[in-house]
Amino acid sequence: MGVGLSSARVTHYTSVVKLTQPTLPEEQADADQAVIDRVLAGDRNAFGILIQRYSDPLYRHAVGMTGSPDVAEDILQVSFIKAYNHLSEVRGRFDAWVFRIVANGCKDWLKNIRRTHLSYEEDDQPSGYENPEEELDRGELRSDLDLALSALPASLREAFVMKHVEGRSYEEMAELLDTTVGALKMRVHRAREALQALLEERYQ
């Protein structure tokens, strides 16, 4: 390879990005459709099953995009109510459909926040981490990463959050965002470069 490393010095790194559990789209879609049918037949509370099933990944996406747990809650709430009101219009996978509603909500919020010059740092609500010790131990990198993410264009930020925070595969991202794996790789790679440029002086 021409890099001059002896075999004794070679370190083998395992991939650091852990993918989330793969889903079984067909079974999942069938199960979701059964719940949707119940809701459309008048069982309003059955909608809670869909909320429980999908709120965590959607919440993580909204927190990643907005940098604010409080705003993420609001976006989740508005999005699920919108989904409920238009449930009869679901075509295809419910999870992809509701993801697009949340993703658009996040992008609307980002447009709005940039127009009104509000700060992401105004929100000091609890983060929703499972373990309180994580909350105490998140350190400076967390706020620096949020700040660096907020400097990225929405499309790069979205791609980075879906890959690195949500742990999605490029194929899954392409399906959710209705674009190509190649385009998404480019966005993630550009996002990494931008983040490294913003953070490397302090953390490298």
Partner 1 sequence: MMMHDNLDPRDGLEPTPRTPKESPMADQELAPTGRISEAVHAWLDGEPVNQAALNAAPREVAFWQKVEAETSSRRRMVTPAHVPAQILGQLPDKR
Instruction: Pick out residues in 104-133 that bind partner 1 (CB under 8 A).
Output: 104-105, 108-109, 111-112, 126-131
Min CB(26)–partner 1 separation in Å:
19
Binding flags for partner 1, 66-105, as an x/- string (CB under 8 A): ---x-x-xxxxxxxxxx-xxxx-x-------x--xxxxxx
Shortest Cβ 29–partner 1 spacing (Å): 15
Residues 163-202 that bind partner 1 (CB under 8 A): 164-167, 170, 177-180, 182-183, 185-190, 192-193, 195-197, 199-200
* Near partner 1 in 14-33, by CB under 8 A: 15-20
The nearest distance, CB 27 to partner 1, in angstroms, is 22
Q: How far is the CB of 146 from partner 1 (least distance, A)?
A: 10
| Binding characters for partner 1, 30-69, by CB under 8 A (x = yes) | ---------xx---xx-xx--xx--xx--xx--xx----x
Q: Least distance to partner 1 from the beta carbon of 44, Å?
A: 6
Distance of CA 177 to the CA centre of its chain: 12
* Binds partner 1 (CB under 8 A): choice among 10, 26, 132, 136: 10
Q: 34 vs 141, which CB is nearer to partner 1?
A: 141
String of DSSP letters for the chain = --S---GGG--PPPP--PPPPPP-HHHHHHHHHHHHHHHHTT-GGGHHHHHHHHHHHHHHHHHHHHS-HHHHHHHHHHHHHHHHHTGGG--S-HHHHHHHHHHHHHHHHHHHHHHHT--GGG-------SSHHHHHT-HHHHHHHHHHHHTS-HHHHHHHIIIIIS---HHHHHHHHTS-HHHHHHHHHHHHHHHHHHHHHHH-
Q: How far apart are CA 174 and CA 183, in angstroms?
A: 9
- Tokens representing 112 are 């709005």
Identify which of residues 6 and 26 has a Cβ nearer to partner 1 in the complex: 6
